[in-house]
Structure 1
Amino acid sequence: MNESLTLHPDGRTSLSMRRRLPHPPEKVWRALTEPGHLAAWFPAEVTFDGDRVGYGFGPGGRVTHREPPRLLAHTWGEDHLRWELEPDEDGGTLLTLTHTFSDRHGAASFAAGWHTCLIALLAHLDGRSPAAAPADMGRLHEDYVHILGLGAVTRDGGTVRVERQLVRPAAQVWRHLDGDRAAVGEPPPAPFTVPSVPAGPVTRAEPGRLLQYATPGGSVRWELGEGTGHGARLVLTCTGGTAAPDAWRSRAAEVAAELAEEI
């Protein structure tokens, strides 16, 4: 497999992506370090000034390792990017990108973004016109959720929790779930429920952000917050004896897949 996640003891996560490029390391090195080449594929406007790195917007960074044409590593705000180049026996390069960050559940968004950038990098090295961004970025994101094992549910005693990065903004997710039909004291809209968990009345509703309703011995809470990229972060929590972890994991996956297909 060319992609993997590593969870570190300090709570940070590293995403590693490996690609073979049919170009020598020296040529790939120039594409990684020279602003004129970076502009063709990197997702920001990069400038190097000594060990300082500027990205055209937001926080800058610093070079932490620079060993031409084998290793380049630099920070981007709190994140760290490490580019390793190994020559292969055919005169090409094995490129390994390792991106280290704090938001594990955002890893699929990072992976989908870098996947697209690396395709553009190869086109640039080949001398081809860069391809347009994939029209099915939502589907690509969901593919990486599965590849990286990000669809898991956690259970702590009687509480089940599912956290899932979505590919659409909170307002669109809310409409998709029929959230505008939610009213305190009334049954929740069906998309917020699963057949195995009896749904009681809505106890709290904040349009575009939160819906909570009672269940036998507990509650279900859907919360939409700020996520990685352009989509919302869903946190789904169910408490009580009818928590049903498999049902909520499946429901969150269904919602994510449905949203990925929406235009």
Structure 2
Amino acid sequence: MSTTPHDATLTTDDGRTALRMEHRLPYPPERVWRALTDPASLGRWFPSEVTLDLAPGGAMEFRFPGAAPGTPVMTGTVTDADEPRHFAFTWGTDHLSWTVTPDGEGSLLTLVHTFGDRPGAASFASGWQLCVGALDRLLSGAPPVAVRDGGALHEAYIARFGLDRGAAGAAGAGREVRFERQLVRPAETVWAVLSDGIEPVAGLPVPEGFTAVCAPAGPVTEVRAPHGLTYAVGEDSSVTWELRRGTGHGARLVLTQTGPAGWDTGAALAAWRDRIERLAAALLES
């Protein structure tokens, strides 16, 4: 599997993020259109089984293979169906727009996926790249075997979109550095890598894996294994690690360090970015 990202861009407007991806396929638009809109074909490369009424305003349902009995069915609505050029629909709160343009003897397939969870963009982009790879195999006559990303493609999109950067700002009467990053392993695995066999205990120094050069080990003030902890850094600063639910690719890391009003946050941003990069690299090996 290639770990090279496809052509992709992110734009954000009024809290919503649009992921735009282009894929060149050596098949005429009519064949690509059928694979996009025929439920039998769509279910072989799309992330879920789909039923649809192919007309603007038509209802859609999405069923994930292997879902537990009683799992609610996701629904959507067709917003555009202009054969063989444009197919768009809602999927829960997201919107997907597929445009097929003639490209020599083949087609240029453009996807615009609009959603609210910007830190999840690398998961969406890597997932769509693998799905379109399955679509390509289906159109070629080969079995559209599902390929999973071990994490390297996801991390390549993290770098491409700049999702490895933190932000600094005011927090009450002080300052805060904050990182939110989708990881590629579940919380239990992330916790094991961070603790490295030394379980955090309230009142004792935090294990080194949870520290950075800007925030040396201080006493743990709260432990919520394997979903987070807080430790003190001197008298006027603290660090909190949280491992929340993410996109389904793995845990969502939210890391914050607080400090006093006059705190110069530049060094902390650089130090925590380096620490999280090293964590992400270690998770690829786990």
Smaller-chain TM-score bracket: over 0.9
Unpaired segments ≥5 residues, structure 2: 1-5, 65-72
Aligned equivalents of 1:99, 1:21: Cα separation in 2: 19
Matches within 5 A, 1:135-174: 136-157=149-170, 158-174=175-191
Aligned equivalents of 1:54, 1:132: Cα separation in 2: 21
Which residue of the partner structure matches residue 192 of structure 1? 210
Deviation, structure 1 residue 54? 1.1
Residue 214 in structure 1 maps to residue 236 in structure 2:
no
Which residue of the partner structure matches residue 61 of structure 1? 76
Aligned equivalents of 2:231, 2:186: Cα separation in 1: 23
SS at match of 2:111: strand
SS at match of 1:196: coil
CA deviations 1:204-246 (Å, max 9, x no partner) are 1111111111113210110111111131110000111375110
Aligned equivalents of 1:166, 1:133: Cα separation in 2: 19
Aligned equivalents of 2:142, 2:216: Cα separation in 1: 57
**Structure 1 counterpart of 2:88, which letter?**
A
SS at match of 2:213: coil
Deviation, structure 1 residue 132? 4.2
Which residue of the partner structure matches residue 73 of structure 1? 88
Aligned equivalents of 1:196, 1:218: Cα separation in 2: 11
**Contact 1:197 / 1:242 at 8 angstroms: preserved in 2?**
no
Deviation, structure 1 residue 49? 2.7
**Structure 2 counterpart of 1:222, which letter?**
W
TM-score (norm 1): 0.94
Residue 110 in structure 1 maps to residue 124 in structure 2:
yes
Of 203, 220, 243, 1:202 maps to 220
Aligned equivalents of 1:247, 1:203: Cα separation in 2: 22
Structure 1 range deviating more: 186-195 or 49-58: 49-58
Which residue of the partner structure matches residue 9 of structure 2? 4
Aligned equivalents of 1:248, 1:36: Cα separation in 2: 47
**Structure 1 counterpart of 2:123, which letter?**
S
Deviation, structure 1 residue 186? 0.7
Which residue of the partner structure matches residue 70 of structure 2? none
Aligned equivalents of 2:8, 2:17: Cα separation in 1: 13
Which residue of the partner structure matches residue 246 of structure 1? 270
Which residue of the partner structure matches residue 3 of structure 2? none
**Structure 1 counterpart of 2:115, which letter?**
F
Which residue of the partner structure matches residue 115 of structure 2? 101
Structure 1 runs of 4+ with >3 Å offset = none
CA deviations 1:19-49 (Å, max 9, x no partner) are 1111111110000000121122111001113
CA deviations 1:143-162 (Å, max 9, x no partner) are 11011111111000421001
Unpaired segments ≥5 residues, structure 1: none
Matches within 5 A, 1:252-263: 252-262=276-286
SS at match of 1:235: strand
SS at match of 2:123: helix
- After superposition, the CA RMSD in angstroms is 1.6
CA deviations 1:107-160 (Å, max 9, x no partner) are 1111111110010001111112224414x4311111110111111110004210
Matches within 5 A, 1:117-136: 117-134=131-148, 136=149
SS at match of 1:230: coil
Are the structure 2 counterparts of residues 126 and 73 from structure 1 closer, same or farther at C-alpha, using a change threshold of 3 Å? same
- Aligned residues with identical type, % of pairs: 51
